[in-house]
Structure 1
Amino acid sequence: MNKLMEISVTYNTGNFEKIRISSHKQAYNLVIENWNLGTIEFQEECKVILMNKGNFVLGIYNVSKGGIDSSVVDIRIILAVALKCNATQLILVHNHPSGSLTPSNSDKNITEKLSKACDLLNLTLLDHLIITRNDYYSLNKEDNFL
């Protein structure tokens, strides 16, 4: 009898529409369609859009839900999910319930750390979007951060 836990990885390819992202605006539109707009101005959440090399979306993973002004972003979880689904490119997305699109020092810090971690695993962090119900801020476009 085996006394160790079994680890299993599942990848469901199903018959889903192939969506290709080629701009910040497309990424925002995709994620806002898949966001619970009832809580976007109440609770901070973080998600990651996982894509292949051709910019086709493999899925959106819910990284965390937090409080009014923060949520925990564990880089190890993001990378584990990306590797499990054979993603090569990522877009990190989180909302600011306050409605402000200005990135905090914490936002910039996590972006830098995730970008460096992705580089080690031959993954690409394409962008980090801060979103509200009606608009978004791209750290890549605005800050030339990535």
Structure 2
Amino acid sequence: MKFNIVNEIKLSYSRKGNSEKFISTSSDAVDVFRQHFDKNEMDYRESFFALYVNQAHRVLGIRKISESGICSTIVDVRIIMQAALLCNATGIILAHNHPSGNLKPSEDDLKVTQKIKEASKFLDIQLLDHCILTSTHYISFADDGHL
């Protein structure tokens, strides 16, 4: 039996009021991220988010990429890029938390950031920053020269 059916893929994106928020500093981005991280789990388990902006650095949307264990989370670059393409983003800002309270980027943090940077460059999308958050502080890869 031969089937000639191809599955249809449907994608959707809706902009509902986010485009008023302008990101000009790492602090601006962290303010948006903190609205989406679960405050009760910031010191409990790791989560990873991506924030998407247009050419004018206005927020197009935010997406939780993953949440996992106490000291790591899996980051699939394809999921990050899929959302960026879907909302026509020209820039991406990443953030994840360190439940330990340690703001120093791990070797894995640096590797995944480089991997995402390479993928975004290929798609002509700029990786603007990657922030590590704790419940009280943050660091910015862009501000600290890691990008």
Q: Same fold judged by TM-score > 0.5?
A: yes
Match of 2:100, as an amino acid?
S
From the superposition, tell whether residues 15 and 109 of structure 1 become closer, same or farther in structure 2 (CA, over 3 Å).
closer
Q: Counterpart of 1:26 in 2: which secondary structure?
A: helix
Structure 1 residue 123, shift from structure 2 partner:
0.3
From the superposition, tell whether residues 17 and 57 of structure 1 become closer, same or farther in structure 2 (CA, over 3 Å).
closer
Matched, 1:53 2:69: no
Inter-partner Cα distance in structure 1 for 2:17 and 2:4? 36
From the superposition, tell whether residues 82 and 120 of structure 1 become closer, same or farther in structure 2 (CA, over 3 Å).
same
Inter-partner Cα distance in structure 2 for 1:124 and 1:101? 24
From the superposition, tell whether residues 129 and 15 of structure 1 become closer, same or farther in structure 2 (CA, over 3 Å).
closer
Gaps of 5+ in 1: none
Structure 2 equivalent of residue 70 of structure 1: 72
From the superposition, tell whether residues 56 and 16 of structure 1 become closer, same or farther in structure 2 (CA, over 3 Å).
closer
Check the 8 A contact 2:18/2:59 in 1, yes or no: no
Q: Counterpart of 2:114 in 1: which secondary structure?
A: helix
Structure 1 residue 3, shift from structure 2 partner:
2.7
What is the total number of aligned residue pairs between the two structures?
Answer: 145
Match of 1:89, as an amino acid?
G
Inter-partner Cα distance in structure 1 for 2:17 and 2:41? 29
Matched, 1:89 2:96: no
Inter-partner Cα distance in structure 2 for 1:38 and 1:123? 33
CA RMSD of aligned residues (A): 1.4
Gaps of 5+ in 2: none
Match of 2:95, as an amino acid?
V
Structure 2 equivalent of residue 41 of structure 1: 43
TM-score by length of 1: 0.94
CA offset digits 1:71-118 (Å, max 9, x no partner): 001111100110011111000100001011010000001111111111
Structure 2 equivalent of residue 129 of structure 1: 131
Match of 1:23, as an amino acid?
T
Structure 1 equivalent of residue 14 of structure 2: 12
Further displaced range: 45-54 or 15-24: 15-24
Matched, 1:24 2:26: yes
Matched, 1:113 2:115: yes
Check the 8 A contact 2:18/2:60 in 1, yes or no: no
Percentage identity across paired residues of the two chains: 37
Structure 1 residue 5, shift from structure 2 partner:
1.9
Match of 1:44, as an amino acid?
E
